[in-house]
Chains A and B, each alone.
Chain A
Amino acid sequence: MEDVKGSDGLGDTELRLGLPGTSTATRSAKRALPEGDEESHDELRRTSAAKAQVVGWPPIRSYRKNSFPGRKVEAEAAAGLYVKVSMDGAPYLRKIDLGVYKGYKELREGLDNMFKCFSLELSRREGGSGSEYAITYEDKDGDLMLVGDVPWEMFISSCKRLRIMKGSEARGLNSRH
């Protein structure tokens, strides 16, 4: 039998550049008593993610669950929209939760921060001339797309992984438009 209140497993796949031993708030396996209302937002989100993954729980008909379309997006947000981010030339990949960003600007800033240790400049315009890199993503159909064309909500629901690629390769993508 599964320990349904255990970790959601997603945190384990998140690479960090931090020192070993440091981590975010530990998740307790079983919370017998709620300790006041001091739970952090993070803690709640992770517990929600754990809950969201127990099949058939809570016992609500799919028909009813599907009747609130707005709620489904919330569900995905609660579970975390983790996608891998690769960068051409970097020795390892990262993973980010698209749900924490409000839009493209925050995403670019976040990626900038994340990969700045490789002393690279990320393009701020689509396939921008004169800069070295462009942010692309693989969508649900497996196609490589340039980040920034579609509305943010549509992007986060169709993005499967991100790839920061050299500008010279990215220029090929422009010709698709």
Chain B
Amino acid sequence: MTYFPEEVVEHIVDFLGSHRDRNAVSTVCKAWYQVERLSRRNVFVGNCYAIRPERVMARFPWMKSLSVKGKPHFADFNLVPYDWGGFAQPWIEAAARGCPCLEELRLKRMVVTDDDLELLARSFPNFKSLVLVSCEGFSTDGLAAIATYCRGLRELDLQENEVEDHGCQWLSCFPDSCTSLVSLNFACLKGEINANALERLVARCPDLRSLKLNRAISVESLNRILARAPHLVDLGTGSMTVNHHTEAYHRLINTFLRCKSLRSLSGFWDASSCCLQAVYPVCVNLAALNLSYAPAIQGDDLIKLICLCFRLQKLWVLDCIGDKGLAAVASSCKDLQELRVFPSDIYGAGTTAVTEEGLVAISSGCPKLNSLLYFCYQMTNTALVTVAKNCPHFTRFRLCILDPGKPDPVTNQPLDEGFGAIVRSCKNLRRLSLSGLLTDKVFLYIGMHAEHLEMLSIAFAGDSDKGMVYVLNGCKNLRKLEIRDCPFGDDALLKDVTKYETMRSLWMSSCDVTLRGCRALAAKMPSLNVEIINESDEADEFQENLSDLHKVEKLYVYRTVAGGRTDAPDFVWIL
């Protein structure tokens, strides 16, 4: 095949979608490397510090879509200090210089400034889609720049970002000539919105299919918007506070009656049960429903709503649904694939409405279930074994027992056997989060059976270094390992240092690794960045007094071809 002309190779390579396949192709020979790099349109960078942006742009000059991730996952839970890094600026600048054809940019857990957004808006004439997930550092002024300068923008999707509110004018910055919007999501914005400008924008974008409003949008406004956009497929409602005796409520019912294309619903910020009836007409077609921001919707009203959605594939709810509610879901929603149950009262008294019973009910009623995130206060081994038997198709299994280190309440045993059953049964498991009382044994099971595991999250678990070593030895496809508050130390860290080159990253916080161990790792593996984050006040004495045996607060290790980074703040040490 190496003797085929370039055009033919290119044509063949075009059929390869996945990054991994394309990466493999590029290593065959120089000719194939060239063909592949010039024909690559989608580039994914899982760790912004693994490679310098200029190098990416130089290798893929015709790139159309770029996706970059910044901070480690535990940054979501405030474990990574605010100014640790993950800046979008060098990426946008390099792309502006090297890849003018860029059409799509997706950033996750990065720091994006208004200046960055303005540069982005002005630099790419064909820019079509901006997706920001869990980012921070920008305000509505940056959005105004995007709206103003991105002609032909199709998608602006802001998911769970921290955005500073500098007023509602940004929405009015979309020119009258902007008619190309397909997807607009500003649900995370905290401020007011110019409802008139929004209604006019929606009215002139006939291709709009996904619209997610923020809390500031009233029901009256929602009515007018939906009247202009009856072809919406995906809707995030605004505040949804409506008294069901008002005219607004009656109009709402009629509006939803006309939305025959709706397949996905979210929002319901301040919704109460009385507004739910308005939504009944669309339930039968819903594939996805997110009620996890609606604590006021509870009990029978909640159950009644969900049970109408018999085609549901994805459901996100609060735990006030209860075991009884989950049983009802299990008997109605036979096509369910993804379930997330969030805690509604995390500072509460320790009694939630969902237990292992709800999970077992779901597993027996919904055999197609493949993705789970479940917060509860207790779990039993028996339940997990049953779930494993009922649902062998899990690819993502995340269980969070809210009480750290809590054993099986019936037997007082650790949950090793339960999780062991999960990894044995679910041969395609790619992502796993553990919780509850766990010994080294669970890690032995994971190392032995979780062949396709790519991401593992561990907290308050294990007895000794052996636990971590089982995982590192056994899980051949492991890409991300994140550990907090476990008794794993230097011996485990240094057992097989070359393993980390096969992974994207390792995070360890509040464990037993010491400065000596980290230094040893850094010395042995120059291809890794070994970062130590020390925020305590002793940081000043760090230089002088710290013995090698000082335990490291937070350790972040990742493979890189970019060398040590130059933008790290004072409290981050790169060994």
With both beta carbons as reference points, the residue of chain B lying nearest to A34 in the complex is identified as B409
> Chain B contacts of A56 at CB under 8 A?
74, 77-79, 484
Q: Given A48-B348, A67-B293, A59–B510 Cβ distance below 8 Å?
A: no
> Chain B contacts of A34 at CB under 8 A?
409
Tell which of B78, B347, B433, B460 touches A51, judged by Cβ atoms closer than 8 Å.
B347
A44 touches B349 (CB 8 A): yes
A62 touches B76 (CB 8 A): yes
How far is A150 from B160 in the complex, measured between Cα atoms in Å? 34
> Chain B contacts of A52 at CB under 8 A?
347
> Chain A contacts of B375 at CB under 8 A?
58, 60
How many residues on chain A are close to B (CB under 8 Å)?
A: 34
Q: Given A1-B487, A56-B79, A59-B76, A48–B350 Cβ distance below 8 Å?
A: yes
B343 touches A68 (CB 8 A): no
A71 touches B347 (CB 8 A): yes
Q: Given A54-B404, A68-B295, A60–B510 Cβ distance below 8 Å?
A: no
Is B342's beta carbon under 8 Å from chain A?
Answer: yes
> Chain B contacts of A30 at CB under 8 A?
405
> Chain B contacts of A75 at CB under 8 A?
346-347
Is B134's beta carbon under 8 Å from chain A?
Answer: yes
A74 touches B347 (CB 8 A): yes
> Chain A contacts of B405 at CB under 8 A?
4-5, 30
Tell which of A2, A48, A54 touches B349, judged by Cβ atoms closer than 8 Å.
A48
B459 touches A57 (CB 8 A): yes
How far is A40 from B134 in the complex, measured between Cα atoms in Å? 40
Is B485's beta carbon under 8 Å from chain A?
Answer: yes
**Per-residue interface assignment for chain A, residues 71 to 89, with 1 indicating a CB less than 8 Å from any chain B CB and 0 otherwise:** 1001100110000000000
Tell which of B349, B407, B460 touches A32, judged by Cβ atoms closer than 8 Å.
B407
Is A176's beta carbon under 8 Å from chain B?
Answer: no
Q: How far is the CB of B77 from chain A (nearest CB, A)?
A: 4
- Which A40-58 residues sit within 8 Å CB-CB of chain B? 41, 44-45, 47-48, 51-52, 54-58
- Which B59-77 residues sit within 8 Å CB-CB of chain A? 74, 76-77
> Chain A contacts of B350 at CB under 8 A?
44, 47-48
Is B188's beta carbon under 8 Å from chain A?
Answer: yes
Is B353's beta carbon under 8 Å from chain A?
Answer: no
Is A105's beta carbon under 8 Å from chain B?
Answer: no
Q: How far is the CB of B373 from chain A (nearest CB, A)?
A: 10
> Chain B contacts of A79 at CB under 8 A?
347
B343 touches A5 (CB 8 A): no
B346 touches A4 (CB 8 A): no
How many residues on chain B are close to A (CB under 8 Å)?
A: 41
Q: How far is the CB of A88 from chain B (nearest CB, A)?
A: 34
A61 touches B134 (CB 8 A): yes
Most B C-beta atoms less than 10 A away, residue of A44, A51, A74: A51
Q: How far is the CB of A37 from chain B (nearest CB, A)?
A: 8
How far is A62 from B80 in the complex, measured between Cα atoms in Å? 12
Q: How far is the CB of B542 from chain A (nearest CB, A)?
A: 20
How far is A79 from B346 in the complex, measured between Cα atoms in Å? 12
> Chain A contacts of B177 at CB under 8 A?
none
Q: Given A33-B409, A48-B350, A56-B484, A71–B74 Cβ distance below 8 Å?
A: no
> Chain B contacts of A61 at CB under 8 A?
76-77, 134, 160
B459 touches A60 (CB 8 A): no
> Chain A contacts of B292 at CB under 8 A?
64
Q: Given A32-B407, A34-B409, A59–B349 Cβ distance below 8 Å?
A: no
- Which B241-274 residues sit within 8 Å CB-CB of chain A? 269
How far is A44 from B188 in the complex, measured between Cα atoms in Å? 33
Q: How far is the CB of B132 from chain A (nearest CB, A)?
A: 13
A60 touches B346 (CB 8 A): yes
> Chain B contacts of A74 at CB under 8 A?
345, 347-348
Is B54's beta carbon under 8 Å from chain A?
Answer: no
- Which B338-359 residues sit within 8 Å CB-CB of chain A? 342-350
With both beta carbons as reference points, the residue of chain A lying nearest to B407 in the complex is identified as A32
Tell which of A45, A48, A62, A64 touches B78, judged by Cβ atoms closer than 8 Å.
A62
Is A63's beta carbon under 8 Å from chain B?
Answer: yes
How far is A1 from B461 in the complex, measured between Cα atoms in Å? 12
How far is A57 from B160 in the complex, measured between Cα atoms in Å? 19
With both beta carbons as reference points, the residue of chain B lying nearest to A54 in the complex is identified as B404
Q: Given A32-B407, A33-B412, A34-B409, A63–B134 Cβ distance below 8 Å?
A: yes
Q: How far is the CB of A129 from chain B (nearest CB, A)?
A: 43
Is B528's beta carbon under 8 Å from chain A?
Answer: no
B409 touches A48 (CB 8 A): no
With both beta carbons as reference points, the residue of chain B lying nearest to A30 in the complex is identified as B405
How far is A57 from B343 in the complex, measured between Cα atoms in Å? 12
> Chain A contacts of B344 at CB under 8 A?
68
> Chain A contacts of B348 at CB under 8 A?
48, 74, 78
With both beta carbons as reference points, the residue of chain B lying nearest to A61 in the complex is identified as B76
> Chain A contacts of B512 at CB under 8 A?
1
Is B233's beta carbon under 8 Å from chain A?
Answer: no
- Which A7-43 residues sit within 8 Å CB-CB of chain B? 30, 32-34, 41
Is B402's beta carbon under 8 Å from chain A?
Answer: yes
How far is A78 from B269 in the complex, measured between Cα atoms in Å? 24
Is B10's beta carbon under 8 Å from chain A?
Answer: no
Tell which of A44, A57, A67 touches B404, judged by Cβ atoms closer than 8 Å.
A57
> Chain A contacts of B345 at CB under 8 A?
71, 74
Is A65's beta carbon under 8 Å from chain B?
Answer: yes
Q: How far is the CB of A84 from chain B (nearest CB, A)?
A: 23
How far is A78 from B345 in the complex, measured between Cα atoms in Å? 11
> Chain B contacts of A5 at CB under 8 A?
403-405
A58 touches B188 (CB 8 A): no
A65 touches B346 (CB 8 A): yes
Is B93's beta carbon under 8 Å from chain A?
Answer: no
B78 touches A55 (CB 8 A): yes
How far is A55 from B460 in the complex, measured between Cα atoms in Å? 13
Instruction: Apart from A33-B412, A58-B346, list 4 A-B contacts with CB within 8 A.
Output: A1-B487, A4-B485, A52-B347, A74-B348
Which B positions have Cβ atoms within 8 angstroms of A? 74, 76-79, 134, 160, 162, 188, 269, 292-293, 295, 342-350, 375, 400, 402-405, 407, 409, 412, 433, 457, 459-460, 484-485, 487, 510-512
* Chain A to chain B contacts (Cβ below 8 Å), 28 pairs: A1-B485, A1-B487, A4-B404, A4-B460, A4-B485, A5-B405, A32-B407, A33-B409, A33-B412, A34-B409, A44-B350, A48-B347, A48-B348, A51-B347, A52-B347, A56-B484, A58-B346, A58-B375, A58-B400, A58-B402, A59-B457, A60-B346, A61-B77, A62-B77, A67-B293, A68-B295, A74-B347, A75-B347
Q: Which 4 A-B pairs have the closest CB atoms?
A: A56-B77, A75-B347, A63-B160, A44-B349
